[in-house]
Structures are given as C-alpha cells and as structure tokens.
C-alpha cells in the first residue's frame, strides 16, 4: 500500500476542505477538523483522517447537522445540560468544556450532559482539554449495539467507550480511553476484509459460540473485555450516556438509527477539582503513585504512547494511505 506524507497543516486543510464541501459551516468544520488533527498529531490513526469521509457523509446526508448550534439548556447546581442540535460532539465541546471546567473549579465536581449529538471520535481529546485546566475527568458515550451481555448472544451494547484523565503538572496527563469490547469494531471489520482471524475472545457467532471468524462475529456479536466484568462496564456506560441524561440506550439507538455511520445519542462528561476534594497535596500525591509505578521496568502510563508521538509529527509530518488521500481529495 502506498502512503502519502502530509504536514499537520495539510492535515488540517484537507479535513476542513472535505467538511466545508459536505456543507459544514466554520463553527462546525473547525472543531471537527481539529479533533482529527489532534488524532493524527498523536499517531492515533483510527480517529484521524480515516474518519473524515464518515463525518462528511453524515453531514451531506443531513443525518448530522453541519450548521449545529449546541447550547446550554440549563445549569442547575453542578450540572450543565446541553442540547447538541444534532451536531458532532466536538462542536458542543467548544463551549461546553470551558463551562464544565469553570463549574468544577467552583463546585469541586461538575457534570456536562450533552443530548442529541453524534460521537465519532476518541474520548481522550475532551478529557485532555479538562486535564489541561488542572482537573481530573471522565467521559462516556454509547453507540448502536454490537456487543453481547455476559451469558447472552444478542447484540445489546455499543462498544461503549470510557475515558479517565488525571492532570500532571508540567507533563502529559495520564489518560486511559478504551472501548468496553475486547476489540474495536473496526478491527473486526478489517480482519474480515483482509481474511485474517480476529483475536481470541473477540466475539461469538450467531450460534452463541466463541469464534475467531470475523464474518461470524459480525453476524453474531462482539464480546466485552474481561467477561462479565467488561459487560458490567458496558452496561454502566449505556446507563450513564443514556437514561441518566435523558438519552437513548444502545438498543434504542439501533431502533432509531439507519445503521450507516455515526448515530445520534448522548455524552456524559464529569470533571473533578483535585484540590477541592483532596486538598492542596492531591496532585503531588498522584505523582508519588505514578513514580512508584514507573520504577518497574516494562510499565508505562496510559496516554504515554500518544505523548511520545506528539513532538515528532510537527517535524516529520504524518502518513496516510494514498487511497484515503485520493478519496478525500475527491470529496473536496
């Protein structure tokens, strides 16, 4: 496969051109393009330009609103409720995250509940934006069902991701950001396309038996990671990003969605001010834990891979498959 090398500025220009051509205005195109740009900058390829045609397709078909104006519907105590106006989440984050950060600093803990939005990205960008304000943060969203419940065989949960971030003064934050399925959906699809086996434990066939055949998993269901423990986390994410904030569960999203590309749903983001909860020593206390963990050879913190890539890409640029580049140029 031939690759094309792009500077980070070219990544941004290409993403913006595709989104504008699809009908997004500047208030929508810029935050969405920046989200893909951040992923390319950090070597997180699965949420970089690879996603651009999906964003554009949803905007062009009007499933997503490329002229969305997400707005705060209410702030009550430590809760901010936002209506996403059927736009992509990064657009809502533009005003929602600063408001959430300010409220968390005031209250100690705060929640941002975004309804009627589409999440087609990783969760670490919003969590990182909050850690940059000195806050710890968590984020949750759900999607149409691909994953079975422990003991079940029916698709009932999305790959329901969750992320947690902890600020580290003067250093990249600790952030984990993971799906509740053993493998990403895309990984199973790529295995099917390329004729490879899926990883052990990735899913079950329509007969409910574990299989590594990706076609059978796509027809059956993906498995949660860690058996019933991962299934419990998928259930938690479904409740937090669904009923808790007045949004749909994965099963309800399926009933409403056309099954093509990103789906409308909700996102819950929580922010915590460590100094308000644990006192002035909270950040230093966290650092002592990280130091102890990192003393052991072979250990790294979640988020360190992206942090190590970040200084390299402004110099070296990034590569994308030539076929993807052709597809995106054709969409401009």
Minimum CB distance to ligand NDP smaller for 286 or for 303: 303
Selected catalytic residue, list 83, 126, 128, 187: 187
| Angle, in degrees to the nearest 10, between helices 124-131 and 26-41 | 90
- Going by their DSSP bridges, the two strands 79-88 and 109-118 should be labelled as parallel
* Binding track, positions 217-256, relative to ligand NDP; x by CB under 6 A: ----------------------------------------
Instruction: Decide: is 184 part of the binding site for ligand NDP (CB under 6 A).
Output: yes
Of the candidates 86, 119, 155, 168, which one interacts with ligand NDP according to CB under 6 A? 119
Exactly one of 179, 216, 231, 273 binds ligand NDP (CB under 6 A); which one?
A: 179
Q: What is the dihedral of CA 322, 327, 330, 332, to 10 degrees?
A: -100
Task: Return the closest-CA partner of residue 91 out of 114, 75, 110, 107.
Answer: 114
Give yes or no for a contact between 213 and 205, defined as CB atoms under 8 angstroms apart: yes
Selected binder of ligand NDP within 49, 123, 198, 218 (CB under 6 A): 123
Give the residue carrying structure tokens 């409910």: 208
Q: How far apart are the first and last CA of the chain?
A: 23
Q: Is residue 155 involved in binding ligand NDP (CB under 6 A)?
A: no
Binding window for ligand NDP (CB under 6 A); candidates: 16-24, 117-125, 188-196, 198-206: 117-125
Nearer to ligand NDP, 111 or 127 (CB): 127
Nearer to ligand NDP, 103 or 167 (CB): 167
For residue 121, the minimal CB distance to ligand NDP (Å) is 6
SS3 content of the chain, % helix, strand, coil (to 5): 45, 20, 35
Q: Is 46 noted as a catalytic residue in this protein?
A: yes
Whether 187 is catalytic: yes
Number of CB atoms found within 10 A of residue 263's CB: 23
Sorted by sequence, the CB contacts under 8 Å of residue 186 that are 6+ apart come out as 46
Other C-beta atoms closer than 10 Å to the C-beta of 312 total 13
* Residue number with CB closer to ligand NDP (45 or 69): 45
Whether residue 47 lies in the annotated active site: yes
Containing 110, the helix (H) or strand (E) segment is strand 109-118
Segment (H or E) for 177? strand 174-178
Q: Is the CB of 21 or the CB of 184 nearer to ligand NDP?
A: 184
Of 260 and 277, the one with the shorter C-beta distance to ligand NDP is: 260
Can you tell me which of 65, 129, 131, 143 binds ligand NDP, judged by CB under 6 A?
143
Neighbours of 67 (CB within 10 A): 15
Single out the segment in contact with ligand NDP by CB under 6 A; choices: 57-65, 72-80, 188-196, 298-306.
298-306
Catalytic annotation, residues? 46-47, 187
Which residues of this protein are in contact with ligand NDP, per CB under 6 A? 119-124, 141, 143, 159, 161, 176-179, 184, 300, 302-306
């Amino acid at each position: 496969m031939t690759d094309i090398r792009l500077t980070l500025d070219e990544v941004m220009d290409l993403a913006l051109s595709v989104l504008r051509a699809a009908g997004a205005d500047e208030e929508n195109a810029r935050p969405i393009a920046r989200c893909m740009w951040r992923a390319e900058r950090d070597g997180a390829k699965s949420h970089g330009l690879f996603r651009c045609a999906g964003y554009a397709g949803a905007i062009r078909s009007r499933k997503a609103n490329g002229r969305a104006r997400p707005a705060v519907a209410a702030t009550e105590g430590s809760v901010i409720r936002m209506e996403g106006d059927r736009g992509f989440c990064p657009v809502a984050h533009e005003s929602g995250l600063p408001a959430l950060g300010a409220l968390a600093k005031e209250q100690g803990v705060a929640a941002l509940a975004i309804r009627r939005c589409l999440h087609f990205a990783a969760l670490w960008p919003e969590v990182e934006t909050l850690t940059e304000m000195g806050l710890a943060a968590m984020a949750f969203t759900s999607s149409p069902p691909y994953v079975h419940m422990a003991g079940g065989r029916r698709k009932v949960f999305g790959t329901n991701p969750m992320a947690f971030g902890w600020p580290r003064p003067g250093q990249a934050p600790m952030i984990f950001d993971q799906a509740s399925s053993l493998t990403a959906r895309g990984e199973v699809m790529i295995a099917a396309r390329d004729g490879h086996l899926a990883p052990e434990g990735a899913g079950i066939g329509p007969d409910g038996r574990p299989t590594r055949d990706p076609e059978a998993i796509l027809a059956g269901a993906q498995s949660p990671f860690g058996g019933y423990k991962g299934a419990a986390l998928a259930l938690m994410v479904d409740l937090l990003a669904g009923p808790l904030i007045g949004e749909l569960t994965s099963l309800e999203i399926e009933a409403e969605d056309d099954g093509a590309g990103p789906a409308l749903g909700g996102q819950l983001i929580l922010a915590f001010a460590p100094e308000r909860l644990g006192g002035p020593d909270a950040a230093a206390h966290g650092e002592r834990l990280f130091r102890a963990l990192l003393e052991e050879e072979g250990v790294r913190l979640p988020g360190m891979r992206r942090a190590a890539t970040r200084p390299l890409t402004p110099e070296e640029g990034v590569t994308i498959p030539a076929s993807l580049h052709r597809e995106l140029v054709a969409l401009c």
